[in-house]
Structure 1
Amino acid sequence: MGTPILQFGTSRFLQAHADLFIGEALERGEALGRITVVQTTGAPERAGRLAALAAPGGYPVIVRGRKDGRAIDCEQQVTSVARALSAANDWDAVRQVFREEAEVVLSNTGDTGYAAGPDDLAGAVPASFPGKLLALLHDRFSANRRGLTLLPCELVSRNGDVLKRLILDLQADRYPESDFRSWLCGSVIWGNTLVDRIVSEPLEPAGAIAEPYAFWAIENQPGLTAPCSHPAILLVDDLTPHEKLKLHILNLGHTVLADIWMTENRPAEETVRAILGDAGVRQRLLAIYSEEVVPGFADRGFGREAEAYVAATLERFDNPFLEHRLSDIASHHAEKRVRRIGDFMAWTPGVPMPMLTAIAGAVPVKSG
């Protein structure tokens, strides 16, 4: 049973994003094949998830929210996962799949997934994801196998470039052969990707609840292999416009609302949907979008795209099934304010932005 897609990570995001897309594409005959999922952390409480991911009947994904003005509440079964392995317990099997079957490798390993500490090589299996990936790539190279496509899905800008640099740094220390380095640079495709879907809740033992909106942009390059064809997957020449739309509309909107929540000392458990039920708050956000954000994008040649993305974003914010707490969004607010608002203003210096300037210049603190 060959699985040309190998996935590192069992996150609910991947379950309701890439794995769901691949399952839908398989039904149309438009996917490379099925998936082997690898649990990277060794967390014992996730053992039940592994078995459920590869169950013959699949696992459920519930899609709830609004799209194009319609309420959506439906359930789908995802049957794209053929095999689920633990890196800690099934390392030899992981090596075999990576060496003999994989054509595309996906990953979603969390906020610290790219960290490789000094104890990385303390056990029989490297502790970090980069350490595991490097060992597997060396194993494949040593077996004289052809290259493959890596499509990291971590929320890191230029994630493929970042992962490549990390692997090459580790390679210079752990496997310093020049031929191996040449193979990593010439035969392995390091794809940059952008993923966008809110997956709000896990289901046990496997599955998730997700919003209808879903997007996966993959920056195209010679030799890149996509895992499937799907309406939510877009091969693009440049990720930058898509990164900017997400960061400076969706994420910027979240930070604007968090700033209002903090400065006005609003209810501790207030959600995005609830705060937008306040007509005054909604009007302030709409004014920022229409008078500052969209004109900023228009100044860079993306006005029409920004208008469409704002409309989709407001539908996502109004999702009646999503309880997105502003207290969560407000974490690391100062850093987010710089990246989401300050960087946008710097990117569009020719457009006056008094409302965003007022937010960017304040440092609110949530009392109590």
Structure 2
Amino acid sequence: MKRLSPDTLAALPAEVARPLYDRESQEVGIVHFGIGAFHRAHQAWYTDAAMNAGDRDWMITGVSLRSAGVARQMNPQGGLYTVAEQSDDGMRARIVGSVRNVLVASEEPDAVIAAVAAPATRIVSLTVTEKGYCRNPVGSLDFDLAHSLSFYYFVTQGLLARAKAGLPGVTLLSCDNLAENGAILERLMRQYLARHEPDLVDWFDRNCTCPATMIDRIVPATTDEDRAAVAAALGGPEDEACQDEACQDEACVVTEPFSQWVIEDRFASPRPRWEAVGAQIVSEVAPYETAKLRMLNGAHSLLAYCGLRAGHEYVHEAIADPALRSLAEQLMRNEAAPTIATAPGQDLAAYADALIARFANPSLNHRLIQIAMDGSQKIPQRWLETLAHNEKHGRTCPAIREGLTAWIHHLQGHNGPVDDPLADKLSRAAKSADPMTALFGEGGLLTSSWRPQ
């Protein structure tokens, strides 16, 4: 079976969309840390659309901090990959061309630093997940975790080279599910700089910015079945006798038709015209970010832990369970929505309706166990802030309380090994005589404004 590459691009079926620009003539303008499936289905997808619309010189150099897996998928394909949108109407495939190459930081650290320091680089973006920010329980930088293979080291060395060369600063763009992600990134970067390159702090403050963002698209982990379906869409039927007609894409991602990206208008230098292809550039991200974290992400975590406990495997199975759907509706409409100060025109009731429909998409096999990962990094902003706000106003949150009970059940090992940076400590706390206090009480593992009552 042939492999997707610049050489095979022209032979793809006419119905497969592809880049409309000359990729080789475009310079790299973005360095992205954490080039996983979500980035490929979201920020790189928007950037490809912006270049299709006429923007120039916004190619992306991706960086994998440790694993060479994505580099092995993408580099032999010249950075090309498929975004396959799945819905009841079937699959719609688009080849995205905005990624130039993928560097593996653990294997080629100097190349990563050089990419950040390159004169054409204007944006350094991140999807490193919540745990990638290396925060301790009180939210400050954990310097033991933020060692030489964290993004902090590479960004710092690249910025240092820029400052020495007299180059302008860059925009550092967090695209992770963190409340106030821009402010958190800025604060943690300053802490790292103050420890390791104190003379660079003032230059950083004067020349770099860290806008807040809100990102939203459901992107399940890609399966072998997904790759087979994409291969068929790119070249021919899945029948073994016709495999020579198919086109294998090892880097493809499967996602939903819906996508949203809200970005604070605070850039250090030029940027792609993402707003021309569907992104929202706004002065205040917080209302959108809070709604997404507390409603979408909050309901996702609820469905994950309660769904696994009920024996379900996928999100669409969990939301089809009447009891679980009722819990998700309760969380979104009655517990989360009243805590959100909306932006003009922001309709939370319609947002909840749309989320239920998206969760029910049977074409997306979004595994509950994938959402259940790293709960210690997610639950404070997805559930505990909602709990604290409601209890302050005399309201109860039975759905979130049920979710916490299901999370403790998960931490006790009932769904298999716990994938979390605090797994061992969480397991001990969950098996203690009073798990709620061990996890959330005074001196508990998770620090928040909410305390068990």
After TM superposition, the score normalised by the length of structure 2 is 0.67
**Residue 5, structure 1, aligned to residue 30, structure 2:** yes
3-state SS, counterpart of residue 146 of structure 1: coil
Question: Structure 1 residues 359, 225: closer, same or farther in 2, change over 3 A?
Answer: farther
Q: What is the distance in 2 between the residues matched to 1:256 and 1:172? A: 39
Choose from 316, 319, 333 the match for 2:358: 316
Cα-Cα RMSD: 3.3
Q: What is the distance in 2 between the residues matched to 1:243 and 1:258? A: 21
Question: Structure 1 residues 253, 189: closer, same or farther in 2, change over 3 A?
Answer: same
3-state SS, counterpart of residue 4 of structure 1: strand
Give the equivalent residue in structure 1 for 2:20: none
String of CA shifts for 1:198-256, please: whole Å, max 9, x gaps: 21133552121112221222122364643332444212222221122112211222344
**Residue 99, structure 1, aligned to residue 145, structure 2:** no
**Residue 359, structure 1, aligned to residue 402, structure 2:** yes
3-state SS, counterpart of residue 344 of structure 1: helix
3-state SS, counterpart of residue 218 of structure 1: strand
Give the equivalent residue in structure 2 for 1:188: 208
Of the structure 1 ranges 327-336 and 273-282, higher mean CA displacement relative to structure 2 is found in 327-336
Q: Which runs of 5+ in 2 are unaligned?
A: 1-24, 135-141, 228-248, 416-453
Question: Structure 1 residues 9, 52: closer, same or farther in 2, change over 3 A?
Answer: farther
Q: How does 1:34-45 map to 2 (within 5 A)?
A: 34-41=59-66, 43-45=67-69
Q: What is the distance in 2 between the residues matched to 1:205 and 1:324? A: 19
**Residue 147, structure 1, aligned to residue 166, structure 2:** no
Q: Which runs of 5+ in 1 are unaligned?
A: none
Give the equivalent residue in structure 2 for 1:14: 39
Contact 2:33 2:126 in 1 (8 A): yes
Q: What is the distance in 2 between the residues matched to 1:200 and 1:303? A: 30
Question: Structure 1 residues 337, 156: closer, same or farther in 2, change over 3 A?
Answer: closer
Contact 2:34 2:126 in 1 (8 A): yes
Choose from 280, 285, 302 the match for 1:239: 285
Give the equivalent residue in structure 2 for 1:278: 321
Q: How big is the shift at 1:308?
A: 2.1
Give the equivalent residue in structure 2 for 1:254: 300
3-state SS, counterpart of residue 292 of structure 2: helix
String of CA shifts for 1:248-296, please: whole Å, max 9, x gaps: 211222344346446xx522x4332113323344345435544554455
Q: What is the distance in 2 between the residues matched to 1:358 and 1:96? A: 48
3-state SS, counterpart of residue 213 of structure 1: coil
1:49 counterpart letter in structure 2 = Q
Give the equivalent residue in structure 1 for 2:83: 61
Of the structure 1 ranges 163-172 and 305-314, higher mean CA displacement relative to structure 2 is found in 163-172
Q: How big is the shift at 1:60?
A: 0.8
3-state SS, counterpart of residue 199 of structure 1: coil
Q: What is the distance in 1 between the residues matched to 2:131 and 2:331? A: 33
- The structure, 1 or 2, with the larger RCO (C-alpha pairs under 8 Å, 6+ apart) is 1
1:101 counterpart letter in structure 2 = A
Question: Structure 1 residues 31, 319: closer, same or farther in 2, change over 3 A?
Answer: farther
- Post-superposition, which runs of at least 4 consecutive aligned residues in structure 1 deviate over 6 A? 299-303, 332-335
Give the equivalent residue in structure 2 for 1:48: 72
Q: How big is the shift at 1:112?
A: 3.7
3-state SS, counterpart of residue 190 of structure 1: coil
Choose from 66, 71, 76 the match for 2:94: 76
**Percent identical:** 25
Give the equivalent residue in structure 1 for 2:218: 198
Contact 1:152 1:159 in 2 (8 A): yes
3-state SS, counterpart of residue 35 of structure 2: coil
Q: What is the distance in 1 between the residues matched to 2:133 and 2:328? A: 35
Of the structure 1 ranges 306-315 and 283-292, higher mean CA displacement relative to structure 2 is found in 283-292
Question: Structure 1 residues 13, 301: closer, same or farther in 2, change over 3 A?
Answer: closer
Q: How big is the shift at 1:132?
A: 0.9
Question: Structure 1 residues 289, 95: closer, same or farther in 2, change over 3 A?
Answer: closer
Choose from 10, 20, 29 the match for 2:54: 29
Contact 1:254 1:329 in 2 (8 A): yes
3-state SS, counterpart of residue 85 of structure 2: strand
Task: Considering fraction of residues, name the structure with more strand.
Answer: 1
Contact 1:32 1:228 in 2 (8 A): no
